[in-house]
Chains A and B, each alone.
Chain A
Amino acid sequence: MTMTDDLGRGSDPLAIAQRWIGEGRKVALATVVETWGSAPRPVGSHLVIDGEGNFEGSVSGGCVEGAVVTEALDVIEGGAAKMLEFGVADETAWQVGLSCGGRIAVHVEPVA
């Protein structure tokens, strides 16, 4: 076993990002950069998104992926990175908040 688990299993978001770019798809990479309180995925976790809204990986175990994908499509179109915050203190928490009560910051950037 010379590869890390995820790389070996083909579900690794960074390996998928590289493959998608190789296939000519437009790609954005979302990364959990800070967490406060209980958060479902640790800092450094990735979600990779293509221009058609396909995605792999996770930044919250399912709580806010939908919102991150929507923002990522903007990032892919516009080319500028964004910092997103989700949590109970946030107004959007009622729509896409973290049920566990934590707060997370997610950075979304184009890979080009």
Chain B
Amino acid sequence: MERDVLTTLNRERAARRAAILVSDFENGISTLYREADTREGALGAALSSAFDSGKSGMVEIDGQKLFFNVHLPSARLVIIGAVHISQALAPMARIAGFDVEIVDPRSAFATPERFPDTVVTAEWPDKVLTERPLDAFTALVAVTHDPKIDDGPIEAALRAGAFYVGALGSRKTHSKRVDRLRASGLSDGEIARIRAPIGLSIGAASPAEIAVAVLAEVIQSLRSRGREQAERAA
């Protein structure tokens, strides 16, 4: 591999952008493809499929054997609201392999005692999300019930193309939220991406059960990431 290719790959990874290194071991040439690059033909189709699945491996294209090393950023889960559901959701999501972060400006809620082993920040989400922006490999879960706290990050997540955006609240609460988001300039297509009521429908009753339903829905979105993007584009 050429040094420049390695440097570019590391830059993409550090910026949390998906990239695939395609190597031809016959001639020793490695080429880097980013998800944003436009691609055509059999190679393009194979790259798109690999970006969706995240799986590395040998691929045969037009009789040529190539190795695809797929580099996807690690999935993040940002939870707005240091509430009871979050106390169950944070450790469960961590076990499932997510980088978890909780943000809640209410300092009585966002304490290390309530959230051991979790990054918890007692600040307004706007400030935190400026420092650590949301991206396509981040899930946002807004569970404070308070529009003052939830609305900003929901809007930011939709604009950043976060792979999952979920918000707690009844259908009535959500329809008011839809009106507010529409007023702030989001399209109906963007707003329709919000999962509300939040979580898969498994009849969850307790906060811990709701956390299971939410985490299952987040994983479902993560693993069908490419499909959802295609549907949005169609």
Contact = CB atoms under 8 A, between A and B. Distances in A.
Nearest to B2: A112
B10 A18 contact: yes
A4 B23 CA distance: 23
Contacts of B58: 33-34
B83 to A, nearest CB: 22
Interface string B81-104: 000000000000000000101000
Nearest to B1: A111
Interface stretch (B40-48, B70-78, B185-193): B70-78
Interface string B155-193: 000000000000000000000000000000000000000
B69 interface: yes
B112 interface: no
A93 to B, nearest CB: 22
Interface residues of B, number: 29
Interface string A26-49: 000101011000000011100000
Interface in B43-75: 55-58, 67, 69-70, 73-74
Interface in A4-23: 4-5, 7, 14-15, 17-18, 21
Contacts of B57: 33-34, 43
A81 interface: yes
Nearest to B133: A2
Interface string B126-140: 000000110000000
A9 B232 CA distance: 36
A1 B76 contact: yes
Interface string B1-37: 1110011011001111000000101001000000000
Contacts of A18: 3, 6-7, 10
11 contacts: A3-B16, A4-B14, A4-B16, A4-B73, A4-B74, A21-B3, A29-B1, A34-B58, A42-B56, A44-B69, A111-B2
Interface of B: 1-3, 6-7, 9-10, 13-16, 23, 25, 28, 55-58, 67, 69-70, 73-74, 76, 99, 101, 119, 132-133
10 interchain residue pairs of minimum CB distance: A44-B56, A43-B56, A4-B74, A44-B69, A111-B1, A33-B67, A1-B99, A43-B57, A3-B14, A18-B10
